[in-house]
């Protein structure tokens, strides 16, 4: 009897691009992909952070380089990606949040969140996909979304709008790119402890409310996302596209 063989989670010989890679979820994604054998290009505006991160990945035996780039500059991002060898994997992670009551949101708040979370993610993915299509290569695009792309949240109207938009964008991208063997999925975390979110947890009432909604009873850590990202990047997720992995500790279960 011939037994089926589990697809490998290894990414040897593949190239990965991670945006917002200097810290938090982006850094964890880069570390996971490099540990699995991918050559990782870390992208962020902060040159020192991504240089340090790339150095740490290399010191751990991985392959990594740094690309200082502001993904809000769509033309610069498109040109940089077009000039590089095709990336087999994209982790579209750069993002931000400005939590405010709906009636307090300003035009600047709206533009800042939507431009980074949705507009830049759209055009980075487009540039990576165009490069793959031109080269005739398969690939995996992983958009870092949120549980807030599946539910609503107090003081998060713009953020929810951006992540619900990302969920819809991902499904449509998956349909358009399927014939090119490019898969597109999202990872949707609950509240993860990162430099971006850590200040929120200094508010005891806010932290208690978050913990009351996470059924597993703890704030997420970046390590909780690394397996999901690695799974979507490689062959084990070969029939998965246009879908989401919700890593929320049970928040959206009720």
Order of strands, sheet of 63-68, starting from the edge strand that comes earlier in the sequence: 63-68, 39-44, 15-19, 89-92, 139-144, 182-189, 244-247
Structure tokens at 216: 């597993």
Average pLDDT over residues 220-242: 98
Cα angle: 164, vertex 170, 174; to 5 degrees: 155
Q: What is the pLDDT of residues 24-42, one digit of tens each?
A: 999 999 999 999 999 999 9
Q: What is the pLDDT of residues 134-191, one digit of tens each?
A: 999 999 999 999 999 999 999 999 999 999 999 999 999 999 999 999 999 999 999 9
Confidence bin at 195 (pLDDT 50/70/90): confident
Kindly list the domain boundaries of the chain, sorted by start residue: 15-245
Q: Is 159 a catalytic residue?
A: yes
Q: What is the pLDDT of residues 65-122, one digit of tens each?
A: 999 999 999 999 999 999 999 999 999 999 999 999 999 999 999 999 999 999 999 9
CATH homologous superfamily, domain 15-245: NAD(P)-binding Rossmann-like Domain (3.40.50.720)
Q: Which of 87, 159, 164, 231 is catalytic?
A: 159
pTM of the model: 0.96
Contact 21, 50 (CB under 8 A): yes
Q: What is the pLDDT of residues 123-135, one digit of tens each?
A: 999 999 999 999 9
The separation between the first and the last C-alpha atoms of the chain, rounded to the nearest angstrom, is: 44
Structure tokens at 148: 């807030």
User: Distance between CA atoms of 145 and 165, rounded to whole angstroms?
Assistant: 9
Please tell me the predicted confidence (pLDDT) of residue 197.
87
Task: Say what percent of the chain tops pLDDT 90.
Answer: 97
């Amino acid at each position: 009897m011939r037994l089926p063989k589990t697809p490998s989670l290894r990414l040897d010989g593949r190239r990965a691009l991670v945006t917002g890679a200097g810290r938090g979820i982006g850094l964890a994604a880069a570390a996971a992909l490099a540990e699995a054998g991918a050559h990782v290009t870390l992208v962020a505006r902060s040159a020192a952070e991504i240089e340090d991160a790339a150095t740490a990945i290399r010191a751990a035996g991985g392959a990594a380089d740094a690309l200082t780039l502001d993904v809000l500059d769509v033309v610069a991002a498109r040109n940089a990606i077009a000039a590089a060898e095709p990336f087999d994997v994209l982790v579209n992670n750069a993002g931000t949040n400005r939590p405010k009551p709906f009636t307090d949101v300003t035009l600047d708040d709206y533009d800042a969140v939507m431009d980074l979370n949705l507009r830049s993610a759209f055009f980075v993915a487009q540039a990576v996909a165009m490069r793959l299509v031109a080269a005739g290569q398969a690939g995996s695009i992983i958009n870092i979304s949120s549980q807030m792309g599946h539910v609503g949240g107090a003081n998060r109207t713009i953020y929810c709008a951006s992540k619900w938009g990302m969920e819809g964008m991902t499904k449509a991208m998956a349909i358009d790119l399927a014939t090119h063997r490019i898969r597109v999925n999202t990872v949707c975390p609950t509240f993860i402890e990162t430099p971006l979110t850590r200040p929120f947890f200094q508010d005891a009432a806010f932290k208690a409310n978050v913990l009351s909604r996470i059924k597993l009873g703890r704030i997420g850590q970046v390590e909780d996302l690394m397996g999901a990202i690695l799974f979507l990047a490689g062959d084990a997720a070969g029939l998965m596209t246009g879908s989401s992995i919700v890593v929320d500790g049970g928040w959206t279960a009720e």
